[in-house]
Amino acid sequence: MKGKGFIDRHYKWVYTLPALFFVLILMVFPVCYTFGLSFTDWTLTSGKSISFTGLKSYITVLQEPRFWDAFKRTLEFTFWAVLFEVVLGIIIALLLNKQFKGKGIAKTLLLLPLVATPVAIGIVWTLFYDPTIGFLNYCLNLLGLPQSGWHTDAATVMPSLILVDVWQWTPMITIMVLAGLSGLSDEPYESATVDGANAWQILRHITLPMLMPTILTATVLRLIEALKTYDIIYSMTQGGPGYASETLNLLAYKYSFEYFRMGQSSVMLVFLFILVLVFSLAVMRIRKATEV
Amino acid sequence: MKRFLLALLIVLLSFSLFAQGATETKPEEIRVMLANHPYGDLLKEKIPEFEAEYGIKVNYEQLQESQLSQALATEFATASSTVDVFMTRPLQEGLMFIKNNWYSSLADYDFADYPQSTVDIGTKNGVPYIVPLVTEWQVLYYRKDLFKAAGISVPKTFDELKAAAAKLTTKDVAGFGSRGKGAAAVTQMSSYVYNFGGRYIQNGEAVFDSPEAIKAIRFYGEMLGNYGPQGVTSMSWENLMPVFQAGKLAMWTDASVFYGQIIDPEKTAIPKENIGIADLPAGPVDDSPFLVVSWGMAIANTSTHKDAAMKFITWATSQELALEGIKNNITMASNSAWKGASGLMNEELIATQAHAAANGYPYDRPFVTSVGAARDLIGEVIIESINTKGTSTKLEALAKEKVAAVNELLKTDGEYHNLPY
């Protein structure tokens, strides 16, 4: 031990220090700062300096119907988007797990939505959806079907946005499930075949239970991201028409950068943070319970 | 090896010392924030000429208008700004920026070439903060070929506008378009409100629930609900323009600034000669379209290069550049620019300017500090009207509710019955 330098004696700390600093400065600090701001009345329109107002901003936000509408919309968007993504993702992964001609091309094509940037996707889909000069209504017109307002109609805006999210993120679930499938042991399948199980029974009683930890991990990741979705919605509708696609993230953004009510905006973000945390912990708990 | 590395380090450090010496002779640098606006594009092109003439390096950034406001507000509010000069929207952010002391005084600037009303918008307690750059007024863009085919003339009144829209609406072409997207629609509906005899704000109080304003909101909703393009409640100018350029819109009321873009042969499918521009039709009570200073230029109070910033702003708002703007069909704010406009700019556009200058009202939105929130509240009433084609039975009650909400904003910001108009 004699003659060893400081770094050698404390290398486990020294090597983790940069990462620790990164987490503290770029992740912990903003969360704590936002939490702190939520107890203030900081508004740039008043011209006054920040003052501590306790729970006043919380009370104001909780009495705002727009907040609760956005809260419900966030849950609605997340539920449907993640549900479709997980179901479709598993089905596509199971299909891709079989051997067929052109499998490589199919996998590559499937990856394309995942590598595109969300804002670019938003712009492209906005052009597709445009009710007057868009491609989708042009197709509906050719088929003699009634046209839709897509993302410009309050009644259809949420399904339209969910469709874009599903289009972009289903491949992520597929890839994770495919990775899970490749790691499954052959033994249970051999035993099941010997016992005369059919394909459906094998899928239901062997494949899906064994894949469950992978599926739940993928679900947690998507859930966290879907709750926080901002880019696609902002680039396509900015929360409109009216407030029909305004989720918590968009409302908080609007309160910050259009209304300049930083205190109230921070309250919304605290709620979103808690929401994401609660959902993540709940799914992680379920995942732990299903681990074999 | 260690010695070699040490020697290398010393050599490299020496270089950096020399480099430090070199920075002392580096030209002064300023940071300029421009908007995605035709005048921002023009300045971008001309900046190398400024750099060559004054020996000042300009680091510029160009952002979409709302992103520009947000970027500026964030930098100023967090006291981390390195911005020296920026384009600013006096009616959108002027009051808030003045309140927070983010503009530098421009008392030394010569404002003689500007109409007093345009300077007053950016003045508080006698101190001017904003040089007016571009003015905008509301006009009617229309398709001359479609009018000719339908055998109708350019509408002069709202009744004629409705009749023309009804006649021009077909399966493929919407007869009439104007902004329908909540907050974005507030500016373009303002002239309709004025022409029906109403106001958004009067004597420091929200009044868009008055019978006159309600009539205007209903008319706007009726026009867009019946003759507007599909999905109009999601449409601002950036959505309406491509529809007009694609030949799917017969009439479009919006700001005069877009004329240059809609006749640009690279962007539009319609020949230039088929695109007309006319005064916004008169209403039953008034003929007073908005005429506003849409963009100005200011120096940041936190700028550490105020002399260089003043040189830049003087150059950027010079008569020569204003004439360049006029040549590009940009509706400049200075008097001299308009004196030299004839022959450089479209004559129909010049005629609409003369009409708006004589009759216009200098606000196109509630000119209050919380303008963003106020616009959203009025936008809710507009969307209700469009969705019901102007027939909503709850429009009066909704307008009353939103008026109360806007008045609350005014009270919070200390502006209730405390505005200069």
What are the pLDDT digits (tens) for A146-184? 889 899 999 999 999 999 999 999 999 999 999 999 888
Structure token digits, residue B100? 């927070």
The per-residue pLDDT for A204 is 87
DSSP string, B205-236: EE-TTSHHHHHHHHHHHHHHHHHSPTTGGG--
Alpha-carbon A151 to chain mean position:
20
A 27-56 residues with CB below 8 A of B?
A: 43-47
Most confident of A20-24, B36-40, B140-144, B357-361: B140-144
Report yes or no: B268 at the A interface, CB cutoff 8 Å.
Answer: no
* Chain A contact set for B243 (CB, 8 A): 132-133
Report yes or no: A138 at the B interface, CB cutoff 8 Å.
Answer: no
Higher pLDDT, residue B13 or A198? A198
Please name the member of B77, B230, B412 whose beta carbon is closest to the beta carbon of A149. Answer: B230
In-domain check, residue A29: no
Mean pLDDT of chain A: 90
In-domain check, residue A109: yes
B 46-85 residues with CB below 8 A of A?
A: 66, 69-70, 73-74, 77
Q: Do A133 and B181 touch (CB under 8 A)?
A: no
In the predicted structure, residue B1 carries a pLDDT above the cut 70:
no
Report yes or no: B174 at the A interface, CB cutoff 8 Å.
Answer: yes
Nearest residue of chain A to residue B240 (CA atoms)? A132
Closest CA to A86 of A183, A175, A210: A175
- Residue listed under structure tokens 């993928």: A218
What are the pLDDT digits (tens) for B125-172? 999 999 999 999 999 999 999 999 999 999 999 999 999 999 999 988
A175: left (phi over 0), alpha (psi -120 to 50) or beta: alpha
Higher pLDDT, residue A193 or A84? A84
* Chain A contact set for B379 (CB, 8 A): 242
Q: Are B291 and B358 in contact (CB under 8 A)?
A: no
Q: How far is A54 from chain B (nearest CA, A)?
A: 18
Query: Which domain does A92 fall in, by range?
Result: 65-290
Mutate to test the interface with B, among A260, A262, A265, A266 (most CBs of B within 10 A): A260
Average pLDDT over residues B332-344: 84
Q: How far is B140 from chain A (nearest CA, A)?
A: 21
Mutate to test the interface with A, among B125, B172, B173, B234 (most CBs of A within 10 A): B234
Cis bond upstream, residue A241 (ω within 30): yes
DSSP string, B149-171: HHT-PPP-BHHHHHHHHHHH--S
Report yes or no: A141 at the B interface, CB cutoff 8 Å.
Answer: no
Average pLDDT over residues B395-420: 94
Give the predicted TM-score (pTM) of the model.
Answer: 0.86
Closest CA to B254 of B277, B275, B287: B277
Structure token digits, residue B61? 């950034």
Please name the member of B66, B182, B370 whose beta carbon is closest to the beta carbon of A45. Answer: B370
d(CA B162, CA B166): 6
Structure token digits, residue A25? 């400065």
In the predicted structure, residue B2 carries a pLDDT above the cut 60:
no
What are the pLDDT digits (tens) for B267-300? 888 999 999 999 999 999 999 999 999 999 999 9
This model of the complex carries an ipTM of: 0.83
Structure token digits, residue A89? 């993702």
* Chain A contact set for B380 (CB, 8 A): 242
Q: Are B283 and B120 in contact (CB under 8 A)?
A: no
pLDDT band at A115 (very low <50, low <70, confident <90, very high): confident
Mutate to test the interface with B, among A29, A41, A45, A158 (most CBs of B within 10 A): A45
- Partners of B374 in the β-ladder: none
Q: A173-177, A193-197, A287-291, B364-368: lowest mean pLDDT where?
A: A287-291
In-domain check, residue A8: no
Higher pLDDT, residue B389 or B77? B389
In the predicted structure, residue A133 carries a pLDDT above the cut 50:
yes
In the predicted structure, residue B112 carries a pLDDT above the cut 70:
yes
In-domain check, residue A167: yes
Q: Residue B184: which H helix or E strand, with range?
A: helix B182-195
The per-residue pLDDT for B22 is 46
In-domain check, residue A25: no
Q: Do B74 and A257 touch (CB under 8 A)?
A: yes
What are the pLDDT digits (tens) for B245-271? 999 999 999 999 899 889 988 888 899
Q: How far is A261 from chain B (nearest CA, A)?
A: 10
The sign of the dihedral angle between the CA atoms of B361, B366, B368, B372 is: negative
* Chain A contact set for B237 (CB, 8 A): none
- Residue listed under structure tokens 């990856």: A111
The per-residue pLDDT for B5 is 52
- What DSSP character marks residue B270? S
Q: Are A167 and A85 in contact (CB under 8 A)?
A: no
pLDDT band at B17 (very low <50, low <70, confident <90, very high): very low
Mean pLDDT of chain B: 91
Higher pLDDT, residue A141 or B88? B88
The per-residue pLDDT for B18 is 45
Nearest residue of chain B to residue A126 (CA atoms)? B239
- Domain count along chain A: 1
How many C-beta neighbours within 10 Å does residue A130 have? 25
Average pLDDT over residues B390-406: 97
Average pLDDT over residues B373-379: 97
Question: Both ends of chain B: CA-CA distance in Å?
Answer: 78
CATH of the domain at A137: 1.10.3720.10
The structural domains of chain B, ordered by start, are 29-134+293-347 (3.40.190.10), 136-290+362-412 (3.40.190.10)
* Chain B contact set for A262 (CB, 8 A): 77
In-domain check, residue A42: no
The per-residue pLDDT for B279 is 97
The per-residue pLDDT for B11 is 56
In the predicted structure, residue B38 carries a pLDDT above the cut 50:
yes
Q: Do A240 and B233 touch (CB under 8 A)?
A: yes
Please name the member of B69, B77, B233 whose beta carbon is closest to the beta carbon of A241. Answer: B233
